[in-house]
Amino acid sequence: MSLESKKTETELDIEELKTLLETAKRKKVKDLLGINLRKLETELITLKEEIGRTETRLKGSNEDKPEAKTEVKRAPESQLKDYSWDQSENYVKLYLTGLSNLATINQDNVKVSFTDQSLNVRIENLNGKTLLFNINKTCHKISPSKSHFKVKSDYLVVFLGKHNPGSNWSHITYAEKCAADAKKSVDTKMDESGDPSAGLMNMMKKLYDEGDDEMKRTIAKAWTEGQQKKNPDFDL
């Protein structure tokens, strides 16, 4: 099935789930429908991004047709999602691991850019792939002029210079911080029905509806993991 077909099917599934959610009566049913709806919306975002990248590659290929004989084959792109981190008084350090042969490639192939609250990493032609990692909005502001990176044998260390040295970061991304703050506030406050779980759902829904793509992915992931911890037999 093509990406466009998957996108169309996913959009139809989302519309049907929304209809079911509007007619559902029982809270547990609404919760399950809501979780699946958010999961599909996240999948739709990913599909749209993939379609956009494909269209960009095709456009570039068409523009290069006169030079077809000398065209350089582009390495497929892949997102790096897993990382670890720690912090010191002046820096938050991100460790992007599993990058075998990183130290052997041309160092110009490792491109890292910073703004006062975002990070973009692009590693070109590593083991036949171009690897991407980005944070659209960090938990707190950073200092681009103090930020830098170091290439190791099989991992990359990114140093985010703290805008306020000595401050303590509880999370890396702003989306993660918002999700955690929402959960904390529900611990001490119920909604009008007196049901704290309903209050959490309302708050998470508000954050989800108002958030960007990164916020949506973070909340959908946190919600699903929370349900699985609450009920080990829970399965989407």
**Residue 120 — pLDDT band, cuts 50, 70, 90?**
very high
State the pLDDT at residue 89: 96
| 21-43 per-position pLDDT tens digit | 788 788 887 788 788 878 878 88
Q: How many CB atoms lie within 10 A of CB 74?
A: 12
153, 102 in Cβ contact below 8 A? yes
Residue partners of 108: CB distance under 8 A and separation at least 6: none
Q: How far apart are CA 41 and CA 13, in angstroms?
A: 10
Q: Which residues are 93's β-sheet partners?
A: 86, 159
**Tokens describing residue 48:** 């749209």
| Alpha-carbon span 175 to 121, nearest angstrom | 19
- Tell how strand 118-126 and strand 129-135 pair up: antiparallel
Confidence of residue 15 (pLDDT cuts 50, 70, 90): confident
Query: pTM, whole model, 2 decimals?
Result: 0.52
Cα–Cα distance for residue pair 163/148, rounded to 1 Å:
14
Residues 13 and 40: their CA atoms lie apart, in Å, by: 8
In which residue are the tokens 């110009």 written? 108
* pLDDT score recorded for residue 63: 63
Rounded-to-integer distance, Cα 37 and Cα 91, Å: 38
Min mean pLDDT across 144-148, 167-171, 229-233 is at: 229-233
Between CA 110 and CA 79 the distance in angstroms is: 14
Q: How far apart are CA 53 and CA 59, in angstroms?
A: 10
Residue with tokens 């991304």: 173
Is the pLDDT confidence value at 65 over 70?
Answer: no
Q: φ and ψ at 36, to 5 degrees?
A: -65, -35
Distance CA 94, CA 122 (A): 14
Distance CA(34)–CA(226), nearest Å, equals 14
pLDDT above 90 covers a percentage of the chain that reads: 39
Q: What local confidence, expressed as pLDDT, does residue 35 receive?
A: 84
Question: What pLDDT was estimated at residue 180?
Answer: 82
Q: Give the mean pLDDT of 178-190.
A: 70
| pLDDT winner (highest mean) among 4-13, 40-49, 103-112 | 103-112
Residue pLDDT, tens place only, 66-107: 555 555 578 899 999 888 999 999 999 999 998 999 999 999
